[in-house]
Chains A and B, each alone.
Chain A
Amino acid sequence: MRQFFWALNTVFMLVNKDFCMKLSQLNPGQKGIIVSFTDAEMAVKLMEMGCLPGEEVEVERCAPLGDPIAIRVAGYQLCLRKTEAAVIIIQ
């Protein structure tokens, strides 16, 4: 039984991994749920600005030159560079 759950969990994680991507990979208009961050220092700044795990984010638009991007999170618009968006893992 325990082994079964362990196997199920592994499968789930593998499947899940495919659904996980970086926020910077989304196109304007696409949405995702924040799962985690890959950089602790940046995570603090982003969380203070309302980008929390579990929060829905939508890429609103890119700047005319493709970078930075504007996202909608926690009821307001935030802009950040693509390198910073790449720190945010979404589902």
Chain B
Amino acid sequence: MADLKVALVGNPNTGKSTLFNLLTGLNQKIGNFPGITVDKKTGFCKLPSGKTAEIIDLPGTYSLYPKSKDESIVFQVLADKNNSSYPDVIVLVADSTNLRRNLLLFSQVADLGIPMLLVLNMTDMARKEGISIDVDKLAQRLGVQVVNISARKGEGLDTLKQAISQTTPLATQVNSIDARGFAPEAVEAIKQKIGTKNDYYALQVLHQHEHLTFFTEKEQEEIEAIEIGNGFDTVKLQGEETVARYRHLGKILSDVVVDTGAQKKFTFTDKIDAILTHKVWGFVIFFFILFFIFNAIFSWSSVPMDLIEGGFAWLTEKGHEHLPPGVLTDLLMDGVVAGLGGIVIFIPQIAILFALISILEDTGYMARVTFMLDKVMRKFGLSGKSVVPMIGGIACAVPSIMSARNIESWKDRIITIMVTPLVSCSARLPVYTLLISLVVPDEKVWGVFNLQGLTLMAMYFISIIAAVLVALVFKFIIKAKERSYFIMELPVYRMPRWKNVLFTMYEKSKTFVLEAGKVIIAISIILWVMSTYGPSKRFEAIDAKYNRIEATSTDTVQLASLERDRAAEKLENSYAGLLGQTIEPMIKPLGYDWKIGIALITSFAAREAFVGTMATIYSVEGADGDGGEMRLRDKIGAAKDPQTGLPIFTFATAFSLMLFYAFAMQCMSTVAVVYRETKSWKWPIIQLVYMTVMAYIAALIAYQLLK
């Protein structure tokens, strides 16, 4: 248990998250993009006094008055004394290169009367730009400790830790403005109502009690009544307060900040921006970067993926050779190992994808993409800020839907949440990879582009186009609650922090294996059982039939083929087979047989299960025949329709399947997160229904046209 709770508060892009990582040692995701820190993050830090501090990283915000959902968390935490995150000390992190704007938040937070200290980050950058800050004078005027640090270089940490342990339990900051003066009667009434002595806290409660969940319904009504009774004009008063605060800060900062070369810092960023947001080159570079990502996912991962695939085939073979034959070995090899292999193989691709996305965020390029695409996105009912969740959707819809919290307008946010799962995520990657490698030849076009890579890119484009078109439909259906706006800081370009990139890679791959892995292994085992056992009467009949035929035969080749037929017939009559056959009439028009039907059913929990399911089904079928050394790709490619003798995985079936997986909502985690983020079942249900219908129709059209 911690002796002290410390909350980090600050503007976006102040290096707050970097400082958090330095203090706690628990490395987490940091981006250069405003508002990337959406979830509450905590860690522990040992102070020089021997005490342990729990550090809480709050979302970046420019003001206590929230513009978006994640920003509203800051006041929610600081307003509620009974909240488990309510801090004993607030560390306000400010960017030294832009002190006045950063101190607006400081002065608001300071007036809440919680003990605090001010951290001036990026002091090295400020010095380089000719900005000098008189720290002692500033500390004296604000009445709090002021500490200089450089989180990027790791300078000033010990002083900061010392300062945290020296903070007094009573707030020392000098009051800045007269909060009571804005609405004297209403503030007095609130102070009596909720029993606080703090004028500014009372004023804030008047402004944003709607966001504060700890008030009961009756209290909310009473506060509302005070607000109306006193003619409390929240917009006008916020404006007055902001002006008053800046006037106060002007006094505080006079002869504290000396700026000699304000223009210098932009020249580098300006030069890059001239190219990266250029009318023509801006888009060319953006598409080049996207293409680079897809190409990298496919080509860089091929060597490690082949190694992993070969490794698992070898493991299965050795397992069958050396372990005593029996049900348990079969379960282990054909259920668990086959399912596990289906996940582990995608680690290289997921690691590459997350590394590249985190580089784009960290350098500040993602903010420029937002800037460039806002106009286009707005036409489709989205905002420029929807680009980040949608590009993130290429990795995983779950964190992306959470990152949509920084979209200010409710309608823009809901539409973004509704369409993000359409963007092809890394879980579809295994499905695409497997199917593309089956039906698209591994050739080079114009000697440079890999045909399989191009097909993969096309799948991603189709998914993004679908997302944008669906957004357009929602734009006309959903009614706006408030107007949409787009006011965003463009951070200066910086080198990515390679440590963070590596950490993101590791963290995301680990999460994928553990989270997806649990589901997939469970499904694999259930599936193995269901496909190995069936109604006993049917199985007895099959055994009796083959035993009779085999008894009359002595030819070893014929015997082996009979064994394979027996296994196939057993699979067909197993519980899984029966289930697949039940839905076969429904999926027949899409070009799928009952085996694919089983994969579709298991994929509704998580689409990654497709490959594992295929692996399990095909190794069950092949287990008694010619060993497990055949690779999954070859097994599936060799699969034939028993009646016609034609391969099942034709071009038409593969594309129909890819489109089905591209559009269908086959992810329980996404359904859960949409419910959590929208606080109603309405949206996840609409999403599930429209996506499934869309998937079925798209797959149907594709198969009927291509077959």
Contact = CB atoms under 8 A, between A and B. Distances in A.
B246 A84 contact: no
B528 to A, nearest CB: 54
Interface in A24-57: 40-50, 52
Contacts of A64: 277-280, 282-283, 372
Contacts of B62: 48-49
A49 B278 CA distance: 25
A74 to B, nearest CB: 6
B65 A44 contact: yes
Contacts of A79: 371, 486-490
B488 A78 contact: yes
B376 A65 contact: yes
Contact of B242 (A44, A66, A70, A77): A44
Given A52-B246, A64-B279, A75-B262, A84 B374 contact: no
B656 interface: no
Contacts of A44: 65, 235, 238-239, 242
Size band of the B side of the interface?
A: 35 or more
B336 to A, nearest CB: 52
A67 B376 CA distance: 9
Contacts of A60: 270, 273
Contacts, number: 104
A50 B266 CA distance: 17
A84 B443 CA distance: 50
B236 A47 contact: no
* Chain A interface, DSSP helix/strand/loop, else mixed: mixed
A70 B492 CA distance: 13
Given A43-B239, A77-B490, A50 B375 contact: no
Interface residues of A, number: 31
A66 to B, nearest CB: 7
A50 B650 CA distance: 60
**Interface core residue of A42, A60, A64 (most chain B CB under 10 Å):** A64
A80 interface: yes
Given A48-B65, A49-B101, A61-B277, A78 B490 contact: yes
Given A40-B236, A63-B372, A63-B374, A45 B485 contact: yes
B489 A48 contact: no
Given A64-B280, A81-B486, 7 more contacts: A44-B65, A47-B246, A49-B62, A49-B489, A65-B375, A79-B489, A84-B485
14 contacts: A40-B236, A42-B485, A45-B67, A49-B62, A52-B246, A64-B282, A65-B372, A75-B98, A75-B101, A75-B259, A77-B266, A77-B492, A78-B487, A81-B485
Interface of A: 40-50, 52, 60-61, 63-68, 70, 72, 74-81, 84
User: What 4 A-B pairs are tightest by C-beta distance, nearest first?
Assistant: A77-B490, A50-B101, A65-B375, A48-B63
